[in-house]
């Protein structure tokens, strides 16, 4: 499994991602909601992979509710980098911002998506089928 690492700019948040395919075969999704556009986010996930987020100073991490207020965007409060989106369902689901990964330039071309058109229930079923289902956040 390809392992990719990355994190925020100041180093307070570190991420490790395991994918089942090479990053070249993965096309990050650019969401057209106002929040993601303002951040230039491009989302990567693998339902068979894993996402690990390690936080240095928990009080320096900001959560921000987005996506019908059911997803939590995880940002570094010091440097402002958007790291991940998380959703607590029966388990913790997540997606990582490709621009926070060191291998960002290895990914395929981005593909635009528009989940804002989905209902809350359609969103959560989409996340359950598309996002990492093996997610751990430590240090919060």
User: Which stretches of the chain bind Zn ion, using CB under 5 A?
Assistant: 8, 10, 12, 76, 78-79
Nearer to Zn ion, 26 or 84 (CB): 84
The residues, any chain, with a CB within 8 Å of residue 94's CB and separated by 6 or more, are: 45, 51, 53, 84, 85, 86, 87, 131, 132, 135
Concatenating the DSSP letter of every residue in 77-102 gives: TTT--EEEEEEESSSEEEEEEGGGBT
CA dihedral 72, 59, 38, 22 (to 10 degrees): -70
Nearer to Zn ion, 78 or 116 (CB): 78
Q: Give the CB-nearest residue to Zn ion.
A: 76
* Max CA pair span of the chain: 36
Nearer to Zn ion, 8 or 41 (CB): 8
Beta-bridge partners for 62: 75
Shortest spacing between CB 60 and Zn ion, in angstroms: 7
Shortest spacing between CB 99 and Zn ion, in angstroms: 13
Nearer to Zn ion, 100 or 103 (CB): 100
Shortest spacing between CB 75 and Zn ion, in angstroms: 8
Shortest spacing between CB 63 and Zn ion, in angstroms: 14
Nearer to Zn ion, 10 or 68 (CB): 10
E strand or H helix at 122: helix 120-130
Shortest spacing between CB 76 and Zn ion, in angstroms: 3
């Amino acid at each position: 499994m390809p392992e990719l690492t990355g994190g925020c700019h100041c180093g307070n948040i570190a991420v490790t991602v395991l994918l089942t395919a090479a990053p070249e075969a993965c096309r990050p999704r650019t969401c057209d909601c106002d929040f993601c556009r303002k951040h230039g986010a491009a989302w990567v996930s693998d339902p068979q992979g894993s996402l690990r987020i390690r936080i240095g100073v928990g009080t320096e991490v900001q959560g921000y509710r987005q996506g019908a207020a059911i997803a939590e965007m995880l940002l570094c409060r010091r440097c402002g980098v958007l790291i991940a989106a998380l959703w607590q369902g029966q388990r913790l689901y997540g997606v990582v911002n490709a621009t926070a990964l060191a291998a960002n330039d290895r990914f395929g071309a981005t593909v635009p998506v528009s989940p804002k058109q989905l209902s809350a229930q359609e969103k959560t079923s989409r996340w359950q089928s598309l996002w990492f289902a093996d997610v751990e956040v430590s240090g919060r």
